[in-house]
Structures are given as C-alpha cells and as structure tokens.
Amino acid sequence: MFKILIVDDESVIRRGIRAILQKGIEDTLDCIEAANGLEALSLARDATPNLIITDISMPGYTGLDFISALREENNLVPVIILSGYENFEYAKSAIKLGVKEYIMKPVSKEEFLDLIKKYIYNITEETSRKTEELNRKLKNERTISKIKQDVLRALMQCADTQEARQYFLQLSEMGMTFESKLYTCAVVEYKSTFQNEEYIDFAVKNVLDECLSLESETGFLINVPLEKGRIVSIFEGNSVEEMHNLKKRTLTKAVGAVMKYCDCKVYIGAGEIAYDTLHLHTAVKRALIAASFKIYEEPRKISIYEERENEERGATNEERINWPMYLKEVEEIDASKILKILQEVANRKRTISNLLYLQEEYVVLQSRLNQLIQHRNRSGGVLDDEYKPFGNCWSLSEMKRGVRDRIARLKEVNEGIKGNAAMAKQVQTYIDEHITENIDRFE
C-alpha cells in the first residue's frame, strides 16, 4: 500500500487533501496526517511514508525545519511543498533540501492529482526496480556463497597440496584470498537425532557464526559445513603461542554456546597448526582424528591433536585381528566373543595409535560382515543397511551395538537362505513323487 504523509497545521486543509487523493486516485492509499513539523518527523520515522506533502509555514517547527531534519537523518523520501506563500527564499531553501515540487495554493484539483499520480507511478516503478535488483544481487550472492562453500569443503577434504593449490586458485578468482599467516582448524561435531535432523545443521552453524565472530581476537575466519553433523571452523594467527592460547579459550566458548542454544551433544577436535594454507587439509584430517576420541565419552569436550600426540608414549602396535577366522561359519558366529575382542582393543591406553587401530579393526570387521550379507542376499537387490562409520559413533556401546546388529542381520539373511533351500527341496521332492500323475491321466 502506498503511504502519503500530509503535513499542515490546518485540519480542514489536511482533510481536503486526503479526500481529493482518495477520490481521485484508483490505487489504495494510506494517508497519514500530522499537524506540525515535529509530529511529522516522528511519523516519518515510524510509518516510513513513500511520499510527503507538507506546508511550509507552521507554528514552532516549520515545514523547512521538518525537511532539514529528515535529510540530516539520511531520509530521502520525496517531498512536495504545498504553500500559500510565494517566497523566493523559501523556494531556494527547499531546492537545497532536495525538494523538486514547490506548488502554490490554490492549485486546480486536476493538476494536483496528475502530479501525485506521476509521483506514485515513478516511486512504485523505482521501488520495484530496486527490489528486483536486490533480489538478483541476493540470489547471486547466495550462489557465489554456495560455490565458495563447495570449494572450501572440497579443499578441506583434498588429498595433497597440488590439489589444494587448484582450489585456492578457484577461491582467488571468486575474490576470496588468504594472507600469509599461520592457520589452524577445528572440527565441531554435534549429534543429529530423529528429533533435530531437519534443523540442527542450520542451527549449529548460526550459533558458531555468532559466537566465534563476537570477539575479533579469536582470529576466526569462516565456518565450513563438511557433512551432516560436522562443521570445520578455520582460524588464523601470527604466532604458535598465540594460536594455542586462543584455541582452547575460543573452542570452550563454542562448545558451551552450541550445547546451550542447540541442546545437543557436541565434541570438538582441534587440528595442528598449518604454516601455510596449502596444508589446511592436513590440519582438518588431524582435527577429525582428535574428534574421534569422543567415542571414549571423556568428560572433556575438546580434544587437541598436539596434546594427543604428546600422550603417544605407551602406544602398542599389534598385528591385525583375523576376523575371517571368527566369521567362517555364520551359524557359529559368537557375537559376544567378537564384542569382547573390540572392547579389549578399546581398553588400551587412549592414544592416537590405539584409536586408529580400533578404527581400522572396526572398519575391517564391518566391511567383512557387509560382504557376507551381500553375498547371501539371493534376492538380487542391494540391501539398504550400511554400517555406521566409526566417526559417527558417540560411544563404545554405540559402536558395539552397531556390530551386534550387523551380526544379527547376517544371521537373519542366512536363515532366509536356509529356509528357501528347505522349501526348494520340498518342492523338488513333491515334483519327483507326482511327476507321472498327469501322464497317467491321459492314458
């Protein structure tokens, strides 16, 4: 709806202008009235009119005072002066304030309406043009932002510095550059559930953006959604000591904010310091390893890779577990024995080496179970029951429950095969016993 603010100290004139506009203009108008300049200034701030029609000579706060105050507030709404005073000084002051129409009373109704219609048309067209331009700009910005996020995500997951260099080149072409500083990153992991899966990624990123951007001293650069349940936060700094100090303090606040506002489990793995941007992907990999310590359900919610490296003494290097031996005969697979072996591995000292050993054995075991299930799937279809990745397990009990469920699934598929085989045998026996009956009928 087009809003017009009518300013005049005489109520008869205000009502007359309103009546002329509402009867003579087909468009729906919202006409607001003010009896003096101060009241008009307040309404101009609150009601945001599209056009103002004002008298000049009013007691106290004149029309020119009102227009001058508007311009000081950077309010550029078009103003039409409707005055009974043919005063050159008034006109000159009005022109300086950006007023393009200075109309002397009395004015013919037709001339007045034509002028207002012209303003309504021009203002409406200009507003529409600006809206379309803004929408295009926002759409382009969203597109560019998405492309940047996609490139950054690929950068975080790239294999080597040569591949990283290609991604940085793409970012540079989009106007995103990185200075020659020290960099580090943190992987923020949060648990997605059936209740929150529709909004949790959006909510956590918003909280992190707000929390990490509040303090300029954090060196925070950007948050990059890596995948569902994981966001990478990138930081920059000038010295190793500075980054170590900021890392713990900043990430502690981030954990608290996500837990408070998103009401979900959260764990952060902090990567090592990268001495140039080309090695950011390595820092991400280290951060993911640090974040995997969440499986031990430690009281601390932040795991720093360098600290884990310092705990590496005492790690053991064991030979691979011979899982095929324990999975040789499906009917004889002992789930409790397999889970006991996994628990023994998990009970070792919590070092990077032992964590990776547990992860490798879990992946090998689940992959073997998957092969056996698919091999026994005689239906020909692909079974939609892939196992949960190790990094998505938030506790040892959750990891073991996943293994137990997969073993149960394997036995279920195997029982189905045995049942089908028994039925096939019964059918074949029936056919063999009755194969001559139809022939005898035709003799």
Note the helical H segments in 157-279. Answer: 161-173, 200-213, 240-262
Residues 187, 285 within the same domain: yes
Residues 304, 328 within the same domain: no
d(CA 434, CA 377): 32
Order of strands, edge to edge, in the sheet holding 29-34? 29-34, 2-7, 51-54, 79-83, 101-104
d(CA 401, CA 389): 13
Structurally, how many domains does the chain consist of?
3
Give 328's DSSP letter. Answer: S
d(CA 45, CA 52): 12
157: nearest Cα among 221, 220, 227, 206: 227
- Which residues, at least 6 apart from 261, have a Cβ–Cβ distance to it below 8 Å? 203, 207
Q: Does a structural domain hold residue 120?
A: no
The CATH number assigned to the domain holding 246 equals 3.30.70.270
Note the helical H segments in 25-108. Answer: 37-47, 63-72, 88-96
Residues 367, 397 within the same domain: yes
Report residue 149 as tokens. Answer: 């996020």
**Which amino acid, one-letter code, is at 54?**
T
Residues 306, 361 within the same domain: no
- Which residues, at least 6 apart from 196, have a Cβ–Cβ distance to it below 8 Å? 203, 262, 263, 264
Give the position of tokens 């005073």: 85
d(CA 174, CA 170): 7
Q: Does a structural domain hold residue 44?
A: yes
d(CA 272, CA 197): 30
Residues composing the chain: 443
DSSP helix/strand/coil, 360: helix
Q: How much of the chain is helix, strand and coil, in % rounded to 5?
A: 60, 15, 30
pLDDT given at position 404: 93
Q: Does a structural domain hold residue 208?
A: yes
pLDDT given at position 425: 54
Residues 368, 400 within the same domain: yes
Instruction: Tell which of 276, 310, 344 closes a domain.
Output: 310
Q: Does a structural domain hold residue 135?
A: no
Q: Does a structural domain hold residue 65?
A: yes
d(CA 254, CA 251): 5
Phi, psi of 187 (to 5 degrees): -100, 115
State the CB neighbour count (10 A cutoff) for residue 197: 11
Residue 345 near residue 335, CB atoms below 8 Å: no
Residues 328, 394 within the same domain: yes
The CATH number assigned to the domain holding 77 equals 3.40.50.2300
Q: Does a structural domain hold residue 47?
A: yes
Residues 344, 424 within the same domain: yes
Report residue 301 as tokens. Answer: 């919610």
State the CB neighbour count (10 A cutoff) for residue 81: 24
Instruction: Tell which of 89, 107, 125 closes a domain.
Output: 107
Residue 314: Cβ-neighbour burial (10 angstroms; 0-12, 13-18, 19+): exposed
pLDDT given at position 443: 45
This prediction's pTM? 0.63
Cα angle 316-321-326, degrees, rounded to a multiple of 5:
150
Residues 199, 300 within the same domain: yes
Containing domain of residue 60, as a range? 2-107
Residues 26, 65 within the same domain: yes
d(CA 173, CA 210): 27
Q: Does a structural domain hold residue 34?
A: yes
Report residue 55 as tokens. Answer: 């008298």
d(CA 240, CA 2): 59
Report residue 346 as tokens. Answer: 């998990």
Instruction: Tell which of 310, 344, 366 closes a domain.
Output: 310
Residues 335, 378 within the same domain: yes
Residues 288, 335 within the same domain: no
d(CA 378, CA 371): 13
Residues 286, 196 within the same domain: yes
d(CA 163, CA 396): 35
Q: Does a structural domain hold residue 160?
A: no
d(CA 25, CA 121): 11
DSSP helix/strand/coil, 273: coil
Report residue 146 as tokens. Answer: 């998405």
Per-residue pLDDT of the chain (443 residues; tens, 9 = 90+): 899 999 999 999 999 999 999 999 988 899 999 999 999 999 999 999 999 999 888 888 888 899 999 989 888 899 998 887 766 677 778 878 888 888 887 788 999 999 999 999 999 999 888 888 888 877 776 777 778 888 888 888 888 888 988 888 888 887 878 776 788 899 999 998 888 888 999 999 999 999 988 766 778 888 999 999 999 999 888 888 878 877 788 899 999 999 999 989 999 999 988 888 888 899 999 999 999 999 998 877 899 998 888 887 655 566 889 998 998 888 889 999 999 999 999 999 899 999 999 999 999 999 999 888 888 765 554 455 678 899 999 999 999 999 999 999 888 888 876 555 555 455 555 555 555 554 454 44
